[in-house]
Chain A
C-alpha cells in the first residue's frame, strides 16, 4: 500500500509565510509611524473628493445670511482635537466670513480651552468683536438639562458668559434668547452628544442641526442624516478635509489627508499579509499534526 501523499511535512513555502504572523509588532509601529510622517514632511497632494454629507453641512452654513445667528457647541476635549479642531476652525471661518453671529458653548469641562483658542483665531482673522458678533457661554454641567433649557431661555441657562459678564449685558444675547431665534445649531463632538442635540433641540424645539463627528462616531450618525434629523455631517479628519476644500481654505484636515491615505494603504497591506500568515500557520500546524499522527500509527 502506497504511503500517504507526504501529508505530514509542512510545505516549506507555508512555513516561510507563517513567519508573517510572528513579526515583532515594533516593526509595524515603525512602518505606521513612517507612513504618517513622510507624507506630512513631503506632501503627495492626493485628490480629495467631497461626500454628500459634507456638501449638505456646507450648504447649511452657506445659506445663512449676514446677521443670522448660529449656536456652535464645542463638545469635545483635547484627546480628539486632532480630528475635530480642523472642523471647528473651518466652520467658524466660514460662518464669520458670511457675517453670521456665533453663540458658542461647550458641554465638556475640558472644552473651554479649545473653544477660546479656536474662537479667538477665527474671530481675529475676520475682525469679529466679542459680545456683538460672537459670545462664549462656557461650560454648563448636565448636557441634557442645558440643551432643554436653552430652548426656553439661553440667558437663564447661562446667566453669565465664560468670563463672568452677565448674559443680559451682551448685545448679541439681548437680541436672541431661544432656539426659535437661531437659524442653525452646529455641534462638533467626540461622543453621542449629536444624538442628544437631535433629541432635545431637534425633536422638542425643531432646531435645524448639523454635526461634526469623530470617525468612530460617524457610523452611528449616518441614520440620523438618512432620516433628515441632521441636515448634514462631517465624519473624522476626512470630513474636515472635505469641508476645508468646500470653503476653499485648506487647513490641518487637508494637510493630514495624504498621511491618512498612505497609512490606510499600509494597514490594508498588513491585513492581507496577516491573513496570509494566519492561514499559512494554520496549514503548517495541521500538517504537523498529521505528521505526528502518522508517526504514532
Chain B
C-alpha cells in the first residue's frame, strides 16, 4: 500500500514538474521546493552517518581504533574557517589533503590519462588490420591537428593555419557527437518519466 501511494505521489510530482513547460505555476514551485528540501535533508543525514558515525565515531570510540583520532581532529580544523580570526588553522587540513592526494593522483593520472592515451594514438602496423590501421591513422591526424589548433605561440597562417583548420573539423565532429549523445541522454530521461507514468502508475493503481 505504501509503495503504491509512493508511486502515485511520484506521478503527481512528475506532472507538477512538467507543468513548467507551459508556464511557471504554484504546482511546479511546490514540487521544486519539495525536491530541494528532501534532497538536502537526505544527503546531510547520509553523509553525516557514512563519514562521521561509520568511519570515525564507531571505530574510535567503540572499537578502540585510536589511530584514526588525529585524522578526525585534522578534519575538524576545517570548521575554523567559519571564524575569520581562526581561519588560518583550516589551512593545515587543506594542506595535508592536497599534498597527500597530489602524491597519489599525479603519477597515476599522468600514466592512465596522458601516457597511455598518447600511446593509444600511435598505430601499430604489425598488430592492426588494414581498416583498424586506417582508423588509428585518422585518430593520429585528429589529435595532431587539434593540438596544432591549440598552439597559440605562432600565428595560424600558412601550413599552420591549414593544419589548424583540419583540427577545427575534428573538433566540430567531436562536438557534434557530444551533442547527439546529449540529446539521447535528455530524451532518455523523458522516456523514463513516461514509462513511469504509462507502466508503473497503472500497475500501482491496479493494486490499490
Binding site for B on A (CB under 8 A): 26, 29, 32-33, 36-37, 40-41, 79-83, 109-110, 139-141, 144, 148, 159, 195, 198-200, 202-204, 214-216, 218-219, 223, 226-229, 235-238, 252, 255-256, 259-260, 263-264, 267
A-B pair number, CB within 8 angstroms: 121
Contact A237 B50 (CB under 8 A): no
Tell me how far the C-beta of A214 lies from the nearest C-beta in chain B, rounded to whole angstroms.
Answer: 5
Contacts of A252 in B (CB 8 A): 192, 195
Q: How far is the CA of A259 from the CA of B194 in the complex (A)?
A: 10
CB pair A36–B187 under 8 Å, yes or no, is yes
CA distance A26 to B20 in the complex (A): 10
Contact in complex: B192, A81 (CB < 8 Å): yes
Sorted from nearest, which 5 A-B pairs have the closest CB atoms?
A82-B192, A227-B120, A215-B185, A215-B184, A237-B188
Neighbouring A residues of B22 by C-beta, 8 Å: 26
- By a CB distance below 8 angstroms, the chain B residues around A218 are 181
Q: Which of B86-94, B107-115, B151-159, B160-168 contacts A (4 or more CB under 8 A)?
A: B107-115
Separation of A229 and B119 alpha carbons in the complex (Å): 12
Chain B hits for A41, CB < 8 A: 198
Asked if residues A83 and B185 are in contact (CB atoms below 8 Å), the reply is yes
Given contacts A198-B112, A199-B108, A238-B184, 7 further A-B contacts (CB under 8 A): A32-B190, A36-B194, A79-B189, A82-B191, A82-B192, A260-B187, A264-B187
B198, closest chain A residue (CB): A40
Is B21 among interface residues, defined by CB-CB distance under 8 A? yes
Q: Which residues of chain A are near B67, meaning CB under 8 Å?
A: none
Q: List 7 A-B contacts (CB under 8 A).
A: A82-B189, A82-B193, A109-B43, A216-B178, A229-B116, A256-B191, A259-B187
- Report the minimal beta-carbon distance from B156 to chain A, rounded to whole angstroms: 26
Say whether B82 faces chain A, with CB atoms less than 8 Å apart: no
Contacts A141-B55, A202-B112; A110 near B184 (Cβ below 8 A): no
* B185 x A109 contact (CB < 8 A): no
Cβ distance A243 to chain B, nearest Cβ, rounded Å: 15
Category for how many chain B residues contact A: 35 or more
Which of B's residues lie within 8 Å of A, judged by CB?
21-22, 42-43, 46-47, 50-51, 55, 59, 101, 104-105, 108-109, 111-113, 116-117, 119-120, 139, 174, 177-178, 181-185, 187-195, 198
A contacts with B: majority SS: helix
Least CB distance from A34 to B in Å reads 11
CA distance A152 to B101 in the complex (A): 18
Q: Determine the chain A residues whose CB is within 8 A of the CB of B192 once the complex forms.
A: 81-83, 252, 256
Q: Assuming A41-B198, A226-B120, is B55 touching A199 (CB within 8 A)?
A: no
Q: In the docked arrangement, what's the CA distance between A214 and B186, Å?
A: 10
Partner of A141, one of B50, B105, B139, B198: B50
Q: Taking A26-B21, A37-B194, A200-B108 as contacts, is the C-beta distance between A83 and B188 under 8 angstroms?
A: yes
- A109-B46, A110-B42, A141-B50 given as contacts; is B195 within 8 A of A40 (CB)? yes
Most buried by A among B178, B183, B193: B183
A236 touches B184 (CB 8 A): yes
Measured CB to CB, the nearest residue on chain A to B175 is A219
Chain B residues closer than 8 Å to A227, beta-carbon distance: 116-117, 119-120
CB-nearest residue of chain B to A216: B185
